[in-house]
Amino acid sequence: MEAIILAGGFGTRLRPFTFTRAKSLLPILNEPMISHLIRTLPKKVDTVILAVNYRREQIEEYFNKHDFGKTIIVNEEPEPLGTGGAVKYADQYITGPFFTLNADIICSLNLAEMLRFHEKKKATATISLWPIENVSEFGVVDIKKDGNITKFVEKPKAEDAPSDLINAGAYLLEPQVLNYIEPGKLVSMEKQIFPQIINNTGRFFGYKFQGHWIDVGRISSYISVHALLLEKQKKTFATGEQCTIQGTLKSSCAGNMVRIGKNTTVESSILFDQVTVGDNVSLDHCVIGEHCEIGDGSVLRNVAIGDNEIIEKHTKLDNAVVWNQPIPQGYPNKQIGNVIGE
């Protein structure tokens, strides 16, 4: 059985960190985001097709060095194709029912249970569903008691909403779904393909789950997912190898070879590999890229610092992004493709 993982986006909302790396390789608790997802795949899934575009070489290099016990196919798109286009571009590898998953969602969804639900319902398509409070900001589903979805309602008023359930970004599809998608086009599975399947088959189901669900699409949610996973592991912080920690870490994660000086407090922050933080520093809700140096006495709050930057002593920054290097050629100034929930 195959799983397509959509990992082709630029991750523009996570810049400056995606200026230098593929979004799916951003570390979460010192392990690439995409590896967390692959470990949730059922044993029945023996082939993983990675739909990639930006920074393909980095992704290939990672999977050449790490074995997940599954065949990994890096399927480079000639250009960003959206959720539907990326699925169609992988059709040569599909042999039966297949998962389609977004690489940037960390959640408690049990994919093996979702597969059993799909088979029991004899569904053409099954999507994961997540309950939310503010339905007016999302597209919600109109769903029957048996899980059959009859339509999507975009950003309804609370009193008009047919449910409180939104598309949570994990799909289980039968091969005939590929026939709905025109090849070589930027296609939204959510907006263009799913409504056709609902109308034509009546076999479009939703699988509800509980627990946690985070779309790691912004700096704020990137910090939040660390806090959530640390709490679930009953840890106050996490560190990589060869670290020297003389200060205090609270709800934070430090990568490999990180040095934190005396009387320094790091709270709700993520430090990538080989970061050096001086003495008497305060970091609060910050993300610090690889090989950065933070000078003594600095106070940073809600700050994102890209790789290889140096922050001078006694710097004070609040709600800032630090990037003093060229932006990679071809990197877009806005998001391309499809956004879950839109």
Instruction: Retrieve residue 148's tokens.
Output: 């059959």
| pTM (2 d.p.) | 0.90
Residue 308: Cβ within 10 Å count:
15
Residue recorded with tokens 């991750």? 11
Q: Are 93 and 75 spatial neighbours (Cβ–Cβ below 8 Å)?
A: yes
What is the pLDDT, as a whole number, of residue 329? 85
Domain annotation for the chain: domains and CATH numbers: 2-215 (3.90.550.10), 236-322 (2.160.10.10)
What is the pLDDT, as a whole number, of residue 337? 43
SS3 assignment, position 10:
coil
Distance, CA of 30 to CA of 33 (rounded, Å): 9
Residues 12-36 have pLDDT tens digits of: 999 999 999 999 999 999 999 999 9
What are the CA-CA distances from residue 11 to residues 15, 29, 191 (Å)? Answer: 7, 19, 21
Distance, CA of 258 to CA of 277 (rounded, Å): 8
Q: Where are the beta strands (DSSP E) in 92-164?
A: 98-102, 105-107, 125-131, 139-143, 149-154
Distance, CA of 316 to CA of 175 (rounded, Å): 55
What is the pLDDT, as a whole number, of residue 139? 80
- Which residues face 282 on adjacent strands? 265, 299
Instruction: Retrieve residue 96's tokens.
Output: 């039966």
Q: Are 125 and 174 spatial neighbours (Cβ–Cβ below 8 Å)?
A: yes
At 175, phi and psi to the nearest 5? -55, -30
What is the pLDDT, as a whole number, of residue 334? 63
Tell me the one-letter amino acid at 143. Answer: I
Residue 267: Cβ within 10 Å count:
16
Q: Are 8 and 81 spatial neighbours (Cβ–Cβ below 8 Å)?
A: yes
Give the closest residue to 197 by CA, choosing from 173, 221, 224, 219: 173
Q: Which residues in the chain show pLDDT less than 70? A: 334-342
What are the CA-CA distances from residue 310 to residues 17, 219, 295, 296, 324 (Å)? Answer: 15, 20, 8, 12, 10
Residues 163-190 have pLDDT tens digits of: 999 989 999 999 999 999 998 888 888 8
Instruction: Tell me the helix, strand and coil percentages in the chain, rounded to 5.
Output: 25, 30, 45
The upper half-sphere exposure of residue 148, i.e. CA atoms within 13 Å in the direction of its Cβ, equals 12
H or E stretch including 166? strand 165-173
